[in-house]
Amino acid sequence: MLTGQHVRNHGVWMNGVPLPADAPTVAGLLNDAGYRTGLFGKAHFEPFLDPFLRFPENRMGVTGATDEDGRPHRGFERMEFAGHGSAGPFHFGGWLRANHPEHMASFFPALDATLEVSSGRGGDTDAPQVRFNNVPREAYHTDWVADRAIGWLDSLAADDDWFCWLSFPDPHHPWDPPTSEQHRVSWRDLDLPDGYLEDRSDREAAIDAKGAHWRRWYDGSLVSNYEAPASWVPATLTPDQVREVNAMAHIENELIDEALGKVLAAAAARGWADDIDVVFTTDHGEFQGDHGFLFKGPYHVDSLMRLPLVWRPAPSAGTVPSVVADPVGLVDLAPTFCQIAGLPVPDWMDGEPLPTSPAVAAAQGRQRVLTEWDSVHSGGAEVHLQTLTRDGMVCTRYEPGTCHDGTEGELWDLAEDPFQRVNLWDDPSRRPLRDDLLADLDDHLPARPGERLAVQSPV
């Protein structure tokens, strides 16, 4: 999102790997062109677990500084950070401690005393990482992010050009929105998501059609990444827990909608409404019960890869509203920001500006999206996935690791199997298509770097 580059080019192949200090960014381009630039919320361009404060973002969060020694950091002249609670090297935690110290312990602790992802449970259903949070809504990180952004916008001159990155920590685990907002969505009234098979035998048959790392996580014998509690066993997930987690996520989303509305209203009050482009998206999905899982990890299915993306061009641009079904990726955001600002898209960006209509998408020749997952867990697990999405097919190759020998994979036909339960990888009739998709994947993946950047922290 920040660089417009694929993983192999920017180098950050897993959490805990810092983006190199000299990495080019779209915020840097805009700032150099005279734009005022600010980021408010979760950045995670550098590792979070950093007790010795080796990385600038953590030093800024702990000290309260909003820039890097008087200069922009990664192109942002002002940065104020928030995580998923009161802990961590973030400005939000310092603000909460100063203004609402009685609520420092109200949030769910994301990590336990051993610095592992917390396996705590709560709510009405004893669901993992759910908590009734007594923090006032105005002291929750969603409203805090909006308020900090509004404060920055209010400091700008009327004729300033600006780029504001709002990075709300939600929707995300832990699921602990303010208890005062629980009335918005009752989990007892929710239907189960279509991606969740309530019948256990059907659910496990669909899991067994996937790769070994799916079943091993489901049974609790594999910890493949730092995104879910190591001691949580997905096979224990109940239908009511799925409902409660989804209710919490819906509440988090409503609060984000209202917070964004506050920011847009503040911008409109400054007379900027006709000239603001709004891009609304996220960096990853969540299972939320799909396939029998919560959280996320090395699982290349729509639940985690197919993201909401809304672009509201500035009304003054006169863009005709449209729905574009052609494949696009997060690497296309930075080039889009360049185009909006009237700047040339630099050669180091891998993406291209988002199409404003199906006709523009056709002219661009959009055919495919690339997705990679590489991770090495401290417990020794290695899972490496490479995926091509094209023509309604999702083709994933498993590279050799601790779970796979390099011959396995997944092939999903989204038109016939939208919930990705029938794996066509070994279907002889689909072998020619599979081979074509894999060749296309190899043709378009950037070259692998000679040496991976070192992991500095688990997350």
Q: Does residue 426 lie in a domain region? A: no
Residue 292: per-residue pLDDT: 98
Query: Residue 328 sits in which domain range?
Result: 7-366
End-to-end CA gap in the chain: 18
Q: Is the pLDDT of residue 33 over 90?
A: yes
Look at strands 278-280 and 382-390 and give their pairing: unpaired
Q: Does residue 413 lie in a domain region? A: no
Q: Is the pLDDT of residue 110 over 90?
A: no
Record the pTM: 0.96
Q: Does residue 357 lie in a domain region? A: yes
Q: Does residue 20 lie in a domain region? A: yes
**325-344 average pLDDT score:** 98
What lies within 8 Å, CB to CB, of 348 at 6+ separation is 3, 4, 5, 9, 24
Q: Does residue 103 lie in a domain region? A: yes
Which of the four pLDDT bands, split at 50, 70 and 90, describes residue 226? confident
Q: Does residue 435 lie in a domain region? A: no
Number of domains in the chain: 1
Least confident of 20-29, 197-206, 217-226, 422-431: 217-226
Which of the four pLDDT bands, split at 50, 70 and 90, describes residue 313? very high
DSSP string covering 198-256: -SHHHHHHHHHTS-HHHHHHHHT----STTS-TT--GGG--HHHHHHHHHHHHHHHHHH
**30-44 average pLDDT score:** 98
Tell me the C-alpha distance between 282 and 1, whole Å: 10
CATH of the domain at 162: 3.40.720.10
**In the chain, what percentage of residues exceed pLDDT 70?**
100
Tell me the C-alpha distance between 282 and 163, whole Å: 17
Q: Is the pLDDT of residue 379 over 80?
A: no
Look at strands 162-167 and 278-280 and give their pairing: unpaired
Residue with tokens 């291209």: 352
Q: Does residue 433 lie in a domain region? A: no
Residue 189: per-residue pLDDT: 98
Q: Does residue 67 lie in a domain region? A: yes
Residue 381: per-residue pLDDT: 85
